[in-house]
Amino acid sequence: MKKIFLTLKSSSLPGALLLFAACFCARAQTFDQLAMTPQMGWNSWNKFQGQVSEQLIRETADAMATNGMKDAGYQYVNIDDLWQATSRDAQGNIVPDPTRFPSGIRAMADYVHSKGLKLGIYSDAGAKTCGGRPGSLGYEEQDAKAYAAWGVDYLKYDWCNTSGLQAPAAYKKMSDALRATGRPILFSLCEWGNSKPWLWGKGVGQSWRTTGDIYASFDQVQNHPGYKDYGVLPILDMQEGLRKYAGPGHWNDPDMLEVGNGMSVNEDRAHFTMWCMLAAPLITGNDLRHTNPETLKILTDKDVISLNQDPLGIQALKYSAKDGVEVWFKPLNNDAWAACFLNRNKDPHKIAFDWSSEKVADNISNRETKFDTTAYRIRDLWQKQDLGTTKTPLTAEVPGHDVLSLRLEEI
Ligand code: GLA
């Protein structure tokens, strides 16, 4: 592709053709190159539920393009449920709700693309979405073609109203329909972990939800008739055993972020850091138009995001847990490691960690830490401070519901 571009560029082609060549190359992403690191963006659901509108999408794209998020790597502006009209048109086409999206989805895609961002949309494998709008069952190809024609870049595909369907086949059907359009649309499976999508989702989509829905709580579970919502720690605990299934182009998705939606700053920081350690898709779920500085600071921290976007794409492992403090390690590119001390307690907790007597072994990359023979430089990622080397035991106090997030690099 690059070669063609260079050849065209060096010849004396008319401007329009050159522009076409440039666009072609910039867009020359194939399905197999999608989400080589976890996808980053925003989704309307966690904050707005059904209150979606074209004004919200435009203003969110404006905010993301200018508030530092785009610069930090966020790309997708995703419209969740209830963007659709209550029924299809006479030809069976899916149509946007005329009050919420009077200009149509193509106009949304054009606007979002004009900001250098990408547009995501939502549907469901059943006859109706969770919000009761038309789902894609029986219309998979027609819907995929509509999304591609509109310029959509991402599809989140839900699992409501699917009794009698088998998830692997239902998701494969939409995956094939998307591929057949020729437009590389990232496919985000939202099946809540019911049929263990980590066992069959690779190659079908780029990520799969591992649990039911998150809500803005650090450690609680909320019971509803027939389903539950989960706070950050309960979701974290449900990731046990799943790390081996994640990797470039196929991620475990512990659900979207609740940063900025009501938890304390410490809790938001711990939530964000752990999602980075898990190599989770970073889909923010707050109101980007009115983000307070503390929230934005968390969401745009490039040092912590670099753990998430590390090209190795290996999910962190839980190394130890004692007195409510967990120690997690994530192997990083160039023989580096991320270490994270997560304090699940409400109160601050003193930690002491003598590196030289610890050995972390990762059976995915087949790498081990070499604290006994090699010194690693320690960087505290949130405090932006160097903390010496692993030749000296670490002592620190981690505030309640917070983390100490470190990057270790061999000297
Ligand atoms: C399900 C999904 C949520 C959201 C809603 C929309 O609950 O898990 O993330 O998309 O449906 O109705």
> Residue 97 catalytic?
no
Distance 62 CA to ligand 1 centre (A): 25
Distance 159 CA to ligand 1 centre (A): 9
Cβ atoms 181, 148 nearer than 8 A: yes
Q: Residue 7's pLDDT is what?
A: 31
- Phi and psi of 318, rounded to 5°? -85, 115
**How far is Cα of residue 263 from the mean position of the Cα atoms in its chain?**
19
Q: Which of 51, 136, 190, 224 to mutate to test the pocket of ligand 1 (most atoms within 8 A of CB)?
A: 190
Q: DSSP label at 278?
A: T
- Output the residue whose Cα is nearest ligand 1's atom 11: 130
Say how far apart CA 344 and CA 338 lie, in whole Å.
Answer: 19
Say how far apart CA 376 and CA 384 lie, in whole Å.
Answer: 17
H and E: helices and strands count for the chain? 12, 20
Say how far apart CA 218 and CA 397 lie, in whole Å.
Answer: 20
Place of tokens 């983390």: 403
> Residue 158 catalytic?
yes
> Token pair of 194, please?
């019911």
Q: Residue 28's pLDDT is what?
A: 52
Cβ–Cβ contacts within 10 Å for residue 1, how many?
A: 9
**Over the stretch 337-366, which tens digit does the pLDDT of each residue have?**
999 999 999 999 999 999 999 999 999 999
Cβ atoms 153, 186 nearer than 8 A: yes
Say how far apart CA 87 and CA 90 lie, in whole Å.
Answer: 9
C-alpha dist (Å) from residue 116 to 47, 215, 299: 24, 30, 19
C-alpha dist (Å) from residue 55 to 35, 50, 69, 111, 273: 28, 14, 19, 11, 31
Place of tokens 């109101």: 287
pLDDT tens for the chain, 411 residues: list them.
233 333 333 333 344 444 444 444 445 579 999 999 999 999 999 999 999 999 999 999 999 999 999 999 999 999 999 999 999 999 999 999 999 999 999 999 999 999 999 999 999 999 999 999 999 999 999 999 999 999 999 999 999 999 999 999 999 999 999 999 999 999 999 999 999 999 999 999 999 999 999 999 999 999 999 999 999 999 999 999 999 999 999 999 999 999 999 999 999 999 999 999 999 999 999 999 999 999 999 999 999 999 999 999 999 999 999 999 999 999 999 999 999 999 999 999 999 999 999 999 999 999 999 999 999 999 999 999 999 999 999 999 999 999 999 999 999
Q: Which residues line ligand 1 (CB under 6 A)?
A: 45, 80-81, 129-131, 158, 190, 213
- Output the residue whose Cα is nearest ligand 1's atom 12: 130
Nearest to 255 by CA among 294, 277, 273, 229: 229
Nearest to 336 by CA among 251, 257, 247, 409: 409
Q: What is the pTM of this model?
A: 0.94
Distance 233 CA to ligand 1 centre (A): 20
Distance 79 CA to ligand 1 centre (A): 11
Among 81, 158, 253, 301, which one carries the catalytic annotation?
Answer: 158
Q: Residue 29's pLDDT is what?
A: 76
Q: Which residues contact 286 (CB under 8 A, 6 or more apart)?
A: 46, 47, 257, 258, 259, 260, 261, 295
Q: What is the largest CA-CA distance in the chain?
A: 72
Cβ–Cβ contacts within 10 Å for residue 6, how many?
A: 12
DSSP secondary structure, 135-203, as one string: --TT-HHHHHHHHHHHT--EEEEE-SS-TT--HHHHHHHHHHHHHHH-S--EEEE--TTTT-GGGT-BT
Atom of ligand 1 nearest to the CA of 255: 9
